[in-house]
Copies of this chain bind each other. A is one copy, B any other.
Amino acid sequence: MSNETKTQSPHHVVIVGGGFGGLYAAQALRKAPVKVTLIDKRNFHLFQPLLYQVATGKLSPGDISSPLRGILSPNKNTKVLMGEVTGIDSKQQKIQLHDEELSYDTLIVATGVSHHYFGNDQWAQKAPGLKTIEDALEMRRRIFSAFEAAEKETDPEKRRAWLTFVLVGGGPTGVELAGSLAELAYRALKEDFRNIDTSETKILLLEGMDRILPPYTLELSAKAKASLEYLGVMVQTGTLVTNIEDNLVTMRRGEQIEQISAQTILWAAGMKASGMGAVLAESTGVELDRAGRVIVEPDLSVTGHPNIFAIGDLANFPHQYENGKSLPGVAPVAMQQGSYVARLLKKRLQEKTLPSFHYNDYGSLAVIGRNAAVADLGFVKFAGFPAWLAWVFIHILFLIEFDNKLLVMIQWGWDYLSRQGGARLITNQSRQPPKAVEEEENHQTPVKV
């Protein structure tokens, strides 16, 4: 048991999770008369919106991560603790870590989401998702190993399977990954191989809904699809993946069942709240939605527990839109919620109140490739190069450290000029080595069975 549990004052705010939500809450409490402890399993903040660029070898992990201790070092009222929360005792106002307990006066839970296979957890090995640095390095390893294997493969059908990439999910991650992969295969790697022509690479983006980027307007979805197709990506909407076996994806489009052989299958669909949602529910009885997210009150607190908050991707905030739709799981929502809870706390300490949380939607941006993006800033929607420039500036603006901002800007500038990726390394060990394709498989366009 550490010191925290013995001293009673000042007001102790425990923040679980060092993503956008947790970090913004901690920063906004910097000068408040409170003691802050930020707990994270990892020692760094990850700029998740750019994770797909690590997966495709454009950026290094260090470029999009900043040590939490470094970021919060100037906040003299803040302590960083690397650890994993295993339980909450809302009556005693304590949280349990593996080997210690911490008392809190206010608890802010911001542990986010992980990807999720709709009950098909066996797909995880075959089609890795993209939430952590390790996920991104695993994707990078698989992508570049596939080109290496294709270069060595002499059987044309097997080679085709090595050069086929299937991305499941047409949300921002799937779209950005597909665009980035297309630039890799059709541009950056074009001169690098001698036996294969990487422009023969097939990149298939599958989406269950009738259009990609469903949170955007119809018009922008159409533009995004056109941009992807221009880059060489095959976009198949209205297509549900029904099975993933090694190197074989089975999908259903209306009544039709199709199969495609692909050595590299990447998962960008589905997400589920982190386990902390269930821990919170067990301790407080709060209601969770189907994705395991905490359904929060208008002030982001947990029903019946005004001193416990859930924010960011972990929270389902149904109070803004008339149809009760939750806010999207994007960084700006988490940032604004983190700041809101900090402001609310400061008001409370002065025995004042604050109106309910309201998300200011400054728009959405997705990048599709060099010079191509779609932007929906509410008052104006645009696509192409202006949207791409906006995307670049907004992303760089929000990168946490000056150091990282500069590096990413230079990497992108260089990348833009040279069409090279700077971090195309195959490192770390395989979670599952890619298997050779079977002779009898068919590797051409999707085939009805």
Contacts and interface: CB of A to CB of B under 8 A. Distances in A.
A404 B426 contact: no
A425 B192 contact: no
Nearest to A424: B67
Interface in A372-417: 401-404, 406-407, 410-411, 414
Interface of A: 2, 42-44, 59-63, 65, 67, 69-70, 73-74, 79-83, 99-100, 133-134, 137, 144, 148, 151-152, 154, 189, 191-195, 401-404, 406-407, 410-411, 414, 418, 420, 422-428
Given A403-B418, A427-B61, A427-B134, A192 B152 contact: no
B191 A73 contact: yes
Given A62-B60, A81-B152, A44 B404 contact: no
A401 B420 CA distance: 11
Specify which of A151, A192, A402 lies most central, judged by the most chain B CB atoms within 10 Å of its CB: A192
Contact of A404 (B67, B152, B404, B422): B422
A413 to B, nearest CB: 10
Given A61-B427, A152-B100, A192-B67, A411 B407 contact: yes
A62 B425 contact: yes
Given A79-B194, A148-B82, A425 B65 contact: yes
B422 A62 contact: yes
13 contacts: A2-B152, A44-B425, A61-B427, A62-B62, A67-B424, A69-B193, A70-B424, A82-B152, A83-B152, A133-B427, A137-B427, A404-B422, A407-B410
Contacts of A137: 427
A2 B154 contact: yes
Given A403-B411, A410-B410, A426 B144 contact: no
Contacts of A74: 191
Nearest to A83: B152
B414 A403 contact: yes
B82 A43 contact: no
B42 A73 contact: no
Contact of A189 (B44, B63, B69): B69
A43 B425 contact: yes
Given A152-B83, A194-B79, A43 B411 contact: no
A61 B54 CA distance: 12
A427 B59 CA distance: 16
A43 B147 CA distance: 11
A338 B100 CA distance: 57
Contacts of A191: 73-74
Nearest to A59: B62
Contacts of A133: 425, 427
Nearest to A99: B152
B44 A426 contact: yes
A414 B405 CA distance: 12
B403 A43 contact: no
